[in-house]
Structure 1
């Protein structure tokens, strides 16, 4: 009927739902020193894991398996060791031994738990030549984070960010400054 206000027959009664949390700003990456310490602790942790695995195999009397491992090319052993160390830990818990020490966790760029596929991608990206030096790029996000869409962040910062708090960078990004493309002349002082 013209002029009458139409109402939906199946409209739900007036219920107010709680508004979703609005996150303020982007989730800051963990500080560079934490990432470097992660790398060092995880390297040691991975070596200890491999030694413990070899010890268990030796105790179990798996001599033929040990022989096959000894004759496997080192590159394949390295890939296997990294997959066995990183994928279960980061895939199930979002953390490794190094990340536990530094209070960091791996998540997606929007703060969700990283999928097993992303974790596998992160692990394989670690084999890109010179990838370890990508930590010195602007934003402190390594290639093994950029490619699969993950980020390593501090646990405390993540909790605050997920609660909707605006989280500022703890320290200014100390990567090499961006090149000046303004075309202006720069003056440099000659070396003495």
Structure 2
């Protein structure tokens, strides 16, 4: 078998429109999840009379709520992309996060990618193309899963040409 390594082809990158759709789907899902957790906390608070939790939530202020939102978002993206290489939005649109070899990045790389999402103006970096700062800094790519699977399969089949079978 050949020792050659698959290198991602730039034509597999998804468009800026698909990236924006991923963002909108993930934002809606995350907001739903965030508010569902708050409702659950409220229900538990009401059932068990945990007034200290209510007082804590009431006293968070803008900084506290922003901190909770950013922390929750970091956890959501890191867990989803770390475990599956995809967020809910990417599952729906058929896209996936990979490294330059078309493989799932390490959890450390995914965490770095998701920390970079909070760089001011990161979202505007997609206006110049389909890779933003959180992609280029972490050396990750968002590609069509179906296209990637076909490309990797073709690459490996091509490398088998001329290789003798061992019986």
TM-score range, shorter chain: 0.7 to 0.9
**What are the superposed Cα offsets for residues 99-152 of structure 1, whole Å, 9 maximum, x if unpaired?**
1111101111221112211121122111111111111224x1111111111111
In structure 1, the partner of 2:52 is: 64
Question: After the TM superposition, which segments of 4 or more aligned residues of structure 1 sit over 6 Å from their partners?
Answer: none
SS of 1:110's partner is coil
Please state if 1:106 is matched with 2:97: yes
In structure 2, the partner of 1:77 is: 68
> 8 Å contact 1:22–1:164 — kept in the other structure?
no
In structure 2, the partner of 1:88 is: 79
The structure with more helix, counted as a fraction of residues: 2
Cα root mean square deviation, aligned: 2.2
Distance 1:83 1:47 in 2: 13
Stretches of structure 1 that go unaligned for 5 or more consecutive residues are 1-17, 166-192
SS of 1:161's partner is helix
SS of 1:164's partner is helix
In structure 1, the partner of 2:163 is: none
Stretches of structure 2 that go unaligned for 5 or more consecutive residues are 156-167
Q: Tell me how far 1:52 sits from its aligned partner.
A: 1.2
TM-score, normalised with respect to structure 1: 0.68
Q: Number of matched residues? A: 148
Please state if 1:146 is matched with 2:136: yes
In structure 2, the partner of 1:19 is: 2
TM-score, normalised with respect to structure 2: 0.78
**What are the superposed Cα offsets for residues 26-68 of structure 1, whole Å, 9 maximum, x if unpaired?**
2431122110100111111110110111122222225433543
Distance 2:39 2:20 in 1: 29
Instruction: Between the two structures, name the one with larger relative contact order (CA 8 Å, sep ≥ 6).
Output: 2
